[in-house]
Structure 1
Amino acid sequence: MLGEQENGESTIDSLRAWGVAAGAFLSLFTVFGVVYSFGEFFGPMADEFGTNRSKTAMFFSITTFTYFVLGLATGRLADRVGQRKVLLMGSGAMVVGLFLTSKVSSLEMGYVTYGAGVGFGVACCFVPMVAGVGGWFERQRTLALGVAVSGIGVGTLAVVPFSEWLIGEYGWRTAYQILAALSAALLLLSAVLAHRPPTSGVAPEPLSKTVRGRSDFWILYGSSFLLSGSLFMAFVFMADFVSSESVDGSAAVLLGIIGISSVVGRLLLGILGARMPVQRLLLLSSVGLSASFGVWATVGSSYLGLILFSILLGISYGGIIAISPAVVAHLFGTLGMGGVLGALYTANGLGGLIGPPALGALIDSSGYLFAQIIAGATAAIGALILLFLPKSAQSARS
C-alpha cells in the first residue's frame, strides 16, 4: 500500500527518517540526472532544428524556471497532503513530458513538452522531498540533507554519460523514451519511501506572514538569483565548449566529475554544518562557485585545467545545495519549510531562465572567455550579498 499512515517509528532522527532521506536521494538522482544530461542533447537537437546557442539554451532555461517557480506551489501542497501524493503526480508528468519531447517536430514544441512536463515533474520532487527530509531530522539535519541532495550529484555522474551513450547508439529521440521508462520505475520506488514528517499535522502559517519584514529572506533570494544564473552555464554549454574549442576530452566526463565532486561537497559541508555556522558555510561555497569560473576562463582548452574547474565547481555547487535548506531551517524553522523553500527557489528559476540564454548570446557574439568572466563576476556579487545575512531569525526581524 502507498498510504501514508504513521506508526511508532515516526520519530525525529529515526530509521524511518533515514528511509525518507533515501527516497529523496533516489528521486533527486532521477529527475536531476535527466535534466542535467541536457548538455548531451544540446548538439544533436540544435543540429536537427538548425537553431543557435541562445534558442537551444531556452529549452533548458524554461524547464529550470518551471520547476523552481512551481516549487512554491508544490512545496505548500506537500505541507498539506504529504510528499508521496505530490511525488506521484510529478512522476506522471515527468514520464509523459519526456515521451512527448521525443516526438516533437520543432524546438518550440519542445519548450512546451519538456518545459511543462519535465519541469513540473522536477518541481514535485525537489522542494517537497528536500523539505520532507528537513522535517524528519533535528540533531542530524544537515547530514541528512547532504545525503538526500547528493542524489543530484550522483544522478549527474551516472545519467549524463549514460545519456551520451544512448544518443550515440539510438539517437536523441529514442534516448528520451528510454529515460522516460527508467524515470517511471525509479520515481515509483521513491514514492514507496516517502512519508509525511511527524510535524505535518500542524498547519503552517501563511507564507506572506512568514517572510514579512524578513531581510534574511530577500538576501537569500538575491544571492540565489545571481548564483544560479551563472551556475547553469556549465551544464548547458560544456558539451558545446568542448566541441567548439577542440578540447581533447569528453564533456560527459567533465559533467560527471562535477556530479561526483558535488556529492563530496554536499556530504562534507553537511557534516561541517553540525560544527560551523551554516551561514558561513553557504558564503564559502558561494565564493568557491565564483572562483571556479575564474579557473575556467584561465585554463582555456586544457583538459586537465577543465577537470580542476569541474572539481571546484562541483564541490562549491554541492555545498550550496546542501547548506541552503539548512540555512532556511535555521532561520525560519521546519514547520511550513516547503513553502519557504519553494518561494526562495523561484529566484533560482529566474536565474535559470535568464542566465543561460543571455550567456549563450554572449558566446555567439563575443566568445566563451567574455561569457566566463561575466558569469564569474555575477556569482561573486551573489556571494558578497551573503555578508549581510543576519546570524539568527531574531536579528532578521529587528
Structure 2
Amino acid sequence: MQVDGTAPRGQPPELDSRRAWRAVVAAFLSMFAVFGVAYSFGAFFAPMSDEFGSGRSATSLVFSITAFLYFVLGALSGPAVDRFGPRPVLLTGAAVMGAGLLLTSRVQSIEVGYLTYGLGVGIGVACGYVPMVATVGGWFERRRSAALGVAVAGIGLGTVVASPLAASLINRLGWRTTYVVFAAASTIILVAAAVLAERPPRPVTAAATLPLGQAIRTRPFLLLYGSAMLLSLALFQVFVYLPDFAEDQGAGEVAAAGLVAVVAGASIAGRLLLGTVADRVGRIRTYQACFLVMGLSYGIWLVAPAYPWLVAFAVVMGGAYGGFIALSPAVVAEVFGTTSLGGLIGFLYTGAGFGALVGPPLAGELIDTSGYRWAIGASMAVALAAWIALLPLERAATTTHKP
C-alpha cells in the first residue's frame, strides 16, 4: 500500500493492506488451535495406551488416521472456502473439533477413539488449515510469502504451547478431563478466528490463471504433488520416532520429548525468516532449498553420537520444515494464481496425507526388523528424492499459464 492509502496500479485496493493482515491474525489463531490439539497427541499417547491396553502400534494409529484425514479432507475444505468463504468453514471446524474431543473424553475403547478423535480433529484441522492459508494467499500479492510465514507460525507456537500444557494438565486432571479443556479452548479460539476472517477480494489477474480441473493435470502440479508425497513419507518419522530414539540413546523422558518442541520452535523461525527471504530471492528456489536442507539434515540424525547432535538435527530440520510449510501455498499461488487457490492447496495436500498414513508404519516395521539407523537412512534417501523431483519446477512453471 502507498502512503496515501491507494493501491499500486493493477492491484485491488485491499491487497497487502491493514485489512489483509486481519486475515493473517485469523489464520494464526486457527492454526494455533487445530495444530496445538493435533500435535499434542504425544502427551496423551502413554496414558491412553495404558488405560486401553492397546499397545504402541494400535495407539499410534490414532495420529496416523487423523493426519491422513486432515490432509485428504483439505481437498474438500479448500474448494469450500473458495465457494463459501472462510467464516462458515471455520465455524464448522470449531463445532466438529469440539464435539470430537468431547466424545473422545468418554470413549471406552481405542477403536472408538479412531472415529471420535480421527474424524473430530481430522475435520477440525482440515477446516482450520488449508482454507486459511488459501485465504491469506488471496489477500496478499507483494508480501504473500511473509504473510503466510506469519500465519503458519501459529502451527509452531501451538505445538510449543499445547504439548507441555497437555502433559501438565494430564498429570493434574487426567487425559479425559484434559480433552474436555482442549475442546472448550479450541472451540473458543476457532470462533474468534471466524469473526476476524473475511473472503479475500477477487484478483484482477484472474484471467491469467488456470481452472482447478486443468491445473491439477499440469506438469508443475504433478511435480509439487509427487515431491510433497515423497517428503511426507520421511517427514513424520521425526514427530513419531525422534523422542523414542533419544530415549534409546540414554536421554531422559523430558529431554527426549523436548526435541519435538525444539523442532516446533525452530520451525517458527523458519516460517518467519524464510517467508521474507523468499519474497526477495524467489519463492520456488527457496522452497527447493528447504527440501534439500531437510533431506541432508537426516544425516545429522543418522550419525548422532549424543543428545546435542539430536538437538542440532531438530534445529536444522525444524527451520527448513517451517520454510516448507510457509512456502507451499505461496509457490502454488505463484505458479497457478490465486483463483481456486483453496482447491489447489487442498488437492496438493492429499499427497502429504498418503505419505503421513504410510510413512510411519513402514518406518516402524524397518525399525523392528533392522534398527533405527536403517530407517533413518531410508528417510534421508526418500527426502532427497523429493528434492530431486522438485528440481524441474521453476522451468516447468514458466509454461503453465501466461497473462
Q: TM-score, normalised on structure 2?
A: 0.91
Counterpart-to-counterpart distance in 2, 1:246 and 1:40: 20
Match of 1:186 among 174, 186, 189: 189
Query: Aligned-pair distance for 1:245?
Result: 4.0
CA contact (8 A) 1:57 1:360 kept: no
CA deviation string 1:198-254 (max 9, x = no partner): 118989975212323x11101111110111121111222334334444313523422
Letter in 1 for 2:110: L
Aligned partner of 1:94 in structure 2 is: 97
Query: Tell me, what secondary structure is at the counterpart of 1:199?
Result: coil
Aligned partner of 1:120 in structure 2 is: 123
Counterpart-to-counterpart distance in 2, 1:219 and 1:243: 37
CA deviation string 1:270-328 (max 9, x = no partner): 1111111211111111111112222122215x221221111111101101001111110
CA contact (8 A) 1:215 1:397 kept: no
Aligned partner of 2:19 in structure 1 is: 16
CA deviation string 1:160-192 (max 9, x = no partner): 111121222222222222111111111111111
CA contact (8 A) 1:59 1:115 kept: yes
CA contact (8 A) 1:289 1:316 kept: yes
Aligned partner of 1:344 in structure 2 is: 348
CA contact (8 A) 2:243 2:259 kept: no
CA contact (8 A) 1:157 1:256 kept: yes
Aligned partner of 1:304 in structure 2 is: 308
Change in CA separation of 1:146 and 1:331 when aligned onto 2, cut-off 3 Å: same
Change in CA separation of 1:394 and 1:239 when aligned onto 2, cut-off 3 Å: closer
Query: Aligned-pair distance for 1:256?
Result: 1.5
Query: Aligned-pair distance for 1:93?
Result: 0.8
Change in CA separation of 1:41 and 1:369 when aligned onto 2, cut-off 3 Å: farther
Aligned partner of 2:264 in structure 1 is: 259
Change in CA separation of 1:296 and 1:48 when aligned onto 2, cut-off 3 Å: farther
User: Does 1:233 find its partner at 2:233?
Assistant: no
What root-mean-square deviation, in Å, do the aligned CA atoms of Structure 1 and Structure 2 show? 2.1
Change in CA separation of 1:183 and 1:169 when aligned onto 2, cut-off 3 Å: same
Structure 2 portions without partners, runs of 5+:
1-11
Query: Tell me, what secondary structure is at the counterpart of 1:59?
Result: helix
Query: Aligned-pair distance for 1:33?
Result: 1.2
CA contact (8 A) 2:210 2:336 kept: no
Counterpart-to-counterpart distance in 2, 1:77 and 1:200: 18
Counterpart-to-counterpart distance in 2, 1:99 and 1:179: 9
Aligned partner of 2:294 in structure 1 is: 289
Counterpart-to-counterpart distance in 2, 1:251 and 1:92: 34
Structure 1 portions without partners, runs of 5+:
1-8
1:116-155 equivalences under 5 Å are 116-155=119-158
Query: Aligned-pair distance for 1:397?
Result: 6.5
Query: Aligned-pair distance for 1:392?
Result: 5.8
CA contact (8 A) 1:260 1:314 kept: yes
Deviating more after overlay: 134-143 vs 46-55: 46-55
Letter in 2 for 1:163: A
CA deviation string 1:25-81 (max 9, x = no partner): 111011111111112222222233333433322211111111111101111011011
Letter in 2 for 1:251: A
Aligned partner of 2:369 in structure 1 is: 365
Count of residue correspondences: 388
- Identity of counterpart residues, as a percentage? 49
Q: TM-score, normalised on structure 1?
A: 0.92
User: Does 1:108 find its partner at 2:111?
Assistant: yes
CA contact (8 A) 1:42 1:236 kept: no
Aligned partner of 2:320 in structure 1 is: 316
Counterpart-to-counterpart distance in 1, 2:189 and 2:105: 20
Letter in 2 for 1:281: T
User: Does 1:48 find its partner at 2:51?
Assistant: yes
